[in-house]
Amino acid sequence: KGERIHPIIRSPHRPFILAGLFAGLSIHTYMAARAVPIFYGLFVMYLAVWQRELLRQKWRGLVWFTAVFALTASPLVIYLLTNPGAEFRIEEVSAPLNALLAGDLRPVLENSVKILGMFGWAGDPLWRQNVAGRPVFEPVVAVLFYVGVLVALWRWKDARYAFALLWLTTSTIPSLVTINAPSTIRIINALPLLTLFPALLIHILRELSTDNPHLSTVVSKLGVGLVLTVGAVYAIRTGYSVFRLWPNGGDVPFVWQAAFTETAVTLDTQSAPIPTAIGGWSPDTMDPNTMALLLRRDDVPLSHFSPEDGTLILPTMSNSGEVVVIRPSILNLHPHWEQQLQFWNAEIAHSEYITQYTLSSLPTMRPQHTVRALFGDQLRLDGYDLDCDTAVCRIITYWQVETVPANATRLFVQLLDDAGNVAAEDYHLDNLDPQSLWVPHWQVGDRILQIHEFQADLNLAAAMRVGFFDPYSCEPGPCQNLLTDTGAPFLLLSLHE
């Protein structure tokens, strides 16, 4: 007996059902896919005006397509409607769209000119996607592309050409209404059809088209030779651009974490694991996960800190007695810590992307003012320094990790006047991340050294209030502080006893 086939599988509408399924799934990918429904709406309108007979023949399939598309895309649509803050990235790049909605056409018109020229004149301005300014096509193919588009416009009443033109046009919308145009990544929907337009022109040229039965073999050989020569030149140029020029251009080393990659290679080659403190841009969110992906071993205790924040972490000593700190070469430590590491006789090694400091022993910490206070059984304050010899008054707090915090911990230092009012304040360490990506990033035994700088005169401050709170607990609030060992939400220290 033959197997029974499901009616949908053998349905003449099967191509429309599959198309609706995959079109709906595409909405769940990159945000540029949000322009896809615009294309389908415009193409159906085109069919209704210029291809009515074709639309009458296929209308049932279009209904199937629309239903499956809507059903597949609905989970994301429902989520976005119920979580309006989830699309915060769009708000960051949508200045041209906002101007358009306010009646200002200039940014969108400027973007349209840039997008028109990106295929052969000047491309994406950002290094992270490409060699900055490099157009999509090399000169010869660019000419074929633009003429191919003109051919498609000339034949726009043919549904095939209209389909290609509408797809290309709607693919540019995400870049048209956002900043940094032309953006190759936001026009990624155009990728399947980009080479179609040069092919259209090649196909209709008798000297090149394979449909020409009288195509001269001599011309063919010359054409092949020319194509191979031009192709070789383009290949060499592309290879140089991709493998030599692009990796070191602009912000590419930063965006693609060249420093962390070199750090991982350095740590992987160690014969024995050495606890290491790594300076980075996102110590409490992205950096630990980045290193976990890059490292090929999992026995290296890593701690992360932000050099830009005036922080320095000295990890616990390794079995060999060494203390290691690594930072990206383009991310400087605070000048005070740079000088201090040299004073501690750190061995400093510079490479292409990283700077490594190695201390043969852990330096002795002797704060000017000794304090012993434990916060949340996690972080211990050992003391602080006061320095007002310069225009900016500086406080340095000395901490040690007793237990790895289970939640984000933001440090606050507030200077109080005689009446107990806040005269100045300073905040450091973990911050609120809009995507709640916080991860643990310290190790037990870490010494956290934090610089606090104030424009206020410390001589006028009567007391200092110190503590930690979880920044993720502040909405709707109140913020949840780590309690001291006496049960207080902060530590109050007199500055002039």
**Mean pLDDT along residues 165-189:** 93
Q: Which burial class, exposed, middle or buried, applies to 57 when counting CB atoms under 10 A from its CB (0-12, 13-18, 19+)?
A: exposed
353/330 Cα distance (integer angstroms):
8
Give start and end residues of each alpha helix (H) in 83-158: 88-93, 95-101, 106-117, 139-154
Crossing angle of the two packed helices 159-171 and 196-204, in degrees rounded to 10? 150
**Mean pLDDT along residues 351-366:** 91
* Torsion angle in degrees (nearest 10) through CA of 354, 360, 366, 368: -40
Half-sphere exposure of residue 257: CA atoms within 13 angstroms, side-chain side: 20
Q: Could you tell me which of 331, 322, 302 has the C-alpha nearest to residue 444?
A: 302
Q: What is the pLDDT of residue 1?
A: 46
Which band of pLDDT confidence, cut at 50, 70 and 90, is reported for residue 119?
Answer: very high
pLDDT at 459 over 80: no
Which band of pLDDT confidence, cut at 50, 70 and 90, is reported for residue 10?
Answer: low
What distance, in Å, lies between the first and last C-alpha atoms of the chain? 98
pTM of the model: 0.74
Which band of pLDDT confidence, cut at 50, 70 and 90, is reported for residue 487?
Answer: very high
The correct CATH number of 369-494 out of 1.10.287, 1.10.3470, 2.40.50, 2.60.40 is 2.60.40
pLDDT tens per residue, range 370-428: 999 999 999 999 999 988 766 678 899 999 999 999 999 999 999 988 888 888 899 99
Q: For 201-205, which contacts have Cβ atoms below 8 Å and span 24 or more sequence positions?
A: 201/144, 201/147, 201/148, 201/151, 202/144, 204/151
**Mean pLDDT along residues 147-158:** 93
User: Could you tell me what percent of the chain has a pLDDT over 90?
Assistant: 64
Q: What is the pLDDT of residue 16?
A: 92
Crossing angle of the two packed helices 36-50 and 159-171, in degrees rounded to 10? 150
Query: At 317, is the secondary structure helix, strand, or coil?
Result: coil
pLDDT at 129 over 90: no
121/136 Cα distance (integer angstroms):
9
Crossing angle of the two packed helices 36-50 and 14-26, in degrees rounded to 10? 140
- Residue 474 has a CB neighbour count (10 Å cut-off) of 13
Half-sphere exposure of residue 279: CA atoms within 13 angstroms, side-chain side: 28
Which residues are CB-contacts of 320 (< 8 A; sequence separation ≥ 6)? Answer: 272, 274
What average pLDDT is seen over the chain? 89
**Mean pLDDT along residues 158-182:** 94
Q: Could you tell me which of 457, 452, 392 has the C-alpha nearest to residue 425?
A: 452
- Where do the structural domains in the chain lie, given as residue ranges? 14-217, 257-359, 369-494
Q: What is the pLDDT of residue 362?
A: 87
Q: What is the pLDDT of residue 322?
A: 85
Backbone angles phi, psi at 324, to 5 degrees: -120, 135
pLDDT at 328 over 50: yes
DSSP state of 486: T
Which band of pLDDT confidence, cut at 50, 70 and 90, is reported for residue 144?
Answer: very high
375/293 Cα distance (integer angstroms):
32
pLDDT tens per residue, range 20-54: 999 999 999 888 888 889 999 999 999 999 988 88
103/293 Cα distance (integer angstroms):
46
DSSP states of 75-100: HHHHHHHH-GGGGHHHHHH-HHHHHH
Largest CA distance in the chain: 103
89/178 Cα distance (integer angstroms):
11
pLDDT at 497 over 70: no
pLDDT tens per residue, range 193-250: 999 999 988 888 765 555 555 555 555 667 677 778 888 988 898 999 989 999 888 8
Peptide bond into 476 cis (omega under 30): yes
